[in-house]
Every structure is written in C-alpha cells, then in structure tokens.
Amino acid sequence: MFTLEDVSLRYAGAAALDAVSLRFAAGTVTAVIGSSGSGKSSLLRLLLGLAQPQQGRVLVEGAPLTPERRLAVRRRIGYVIQEGGLFPHLSARDNLALLPRHLGWSGARIDARAADLAALARLPASALRRRPAQLSGGERQRVALMRALMTDPPALLLDEPLGALDPIVRYELQEQVRPLFAALGKTVVLVTHDLAEAAFLAPRLVLMRHGRVVQDGTFEDLRDRPADDFVRQFVAAQRRLP
C-alpha cells in the first residue's frame, strides 16, 4: 500500500527524516513509535502527501505520490489526529458528512453510513446530533475515527489518536479498536509514543530515533533482541507499577 524509498525530509535545515526506507503492505497494522521529535508524525505527513521529501520517493499503491495525485490519494485515506480535529461548530453527524457531501453523497446515504459506523464504534445514536463540546473525550475520538472511515478508505493513518484521553477511556478504546482493525482489514499506520499501546494494537512495531529507523519487528524482537542500547533503554523506560 505505502512505500518509502530512501526518503529524507528537512524543515529549516533540520532533518525530520533521514534516508528512511519502509514498506507498509496492504491490510497490515503497523505502529510507529519513538520519543518526541523522532520523525513519527513527519512520516505520516509524507504518506498523506502533506509534505514533500527533499530526497527519495513515496509510493502509494505502487505509484509515486506526485503533486497531481495528492488530492485523489488523500480522499482514499482516513486520517485521525490527536484530540480528533473535529470542527466545533458542526454536529458530529455534520462532521462525518463533510467529505461524503463533497463527493456528492445524498443525505440519506450519509445518515445510513453514519448509523452503521456508530453501531460499529459503539457510539450512541443520540451523540450524532451533538457538537464536539457536548461529547466526552472518548465519544469525540469515536467520531474522529468514524469520520476517517466514512468513505470506506483502504488505509487509515492515526497520529496519537488516544493520547489525550484519560487512562480508563483510553483502555476501553484500545479494547474496541484492536478487533475493529482486524474486522476492517485495512492498512493501518498508527503513531504513538506508548510502547504498551503499540504492542497491544499492532503486530509490527517500527521504532524511530532522530529521523531514522532503529528497529523494525515485533514487540518480542524489541524486548528480547534489541538492535542497540537505545532500543534496550526505550523498552526498559516503560513505567511499571511498584
């Protein structure tokens, strides 16, 4: 689905990504992890066409992501950012309707799809009539995920989608999202700094540092066969209860 070939990205001379090569196969779930400033979110921006690499190529479904293709590609990718990014002046239903309405969907089709996704995401139907400020944090994140899924895209890019939630709500959503990923069969690239969350949601983990890939494998690979001291320290740094 997505391929990065020797990609480098710089902002004001500083390297956000440095000669990164990765492939995300169709239908797979991958978590990209690392500390702040490691290049995780920059990688998602490249996949979505929101940034242009100074070196290397980004391919989507085997074809280069050229400026001419960006808009069409974005319409086929669901994107969720931290805290959802919902428009505060619109109801949840109208947030969901933005892209479908632009694509010419009828109101009846929008409502039917919204109802199906609400059932899938375990969101009360009454919540669709409320504005984001009238929803709980967990409900807002459900709506954000539903909005990304409205047009049934083949891929989902998730940038710290659960990072702003309190621990109980975050735990509940993790429990719901994992089987949802399996049921949908979509290509999912999830960015998080939380190793436990990454290991729970994704069978493949990509650990980044200073814009480079440090290790690419399973959680067991990182834990039992760390590529270097940084990987060992990153795994050991996860907080444990006394």
Calpha distance 44→38 (Å, rounded): 12
Within 13 A of 197's CA, how many CA atoms are on the CB side? Answer: 24
Q: Which residue has the higher pLDDT, 130 or 71?
A: 130
pTM of the model: 0.90
Non-local (6+) Cβ contacts of 198 within 8 A are: 31, 33, 190, 192, 205, 219
Section 113-133 average pLDDT: 92
Residue 208 predicted with pLDDT over 70:
yes
pLDDT in tens, 153-191: 999 999 988 876 788 888 888 888 888 888 888 999 999
Q: What structural domains and CATH numbers belong to the chain?
A: 1-76+154-242 (3.40.50.300), 86-153 (no CATH)
Q: What is the mean pLDDT of the chain?
A: 91
- Contact between 231 and 237 under an 8 Å Cβ cutoff? The reply is no
Confidence band for 241, pLDDT divided at 50, 70 and 90: low
Residue 224 predicted with pLDDT over 90:
yes
Structure tokens at 167: 């621990």
Confidence band for 227, pLDDT divided at 50, 70 and 90: very high
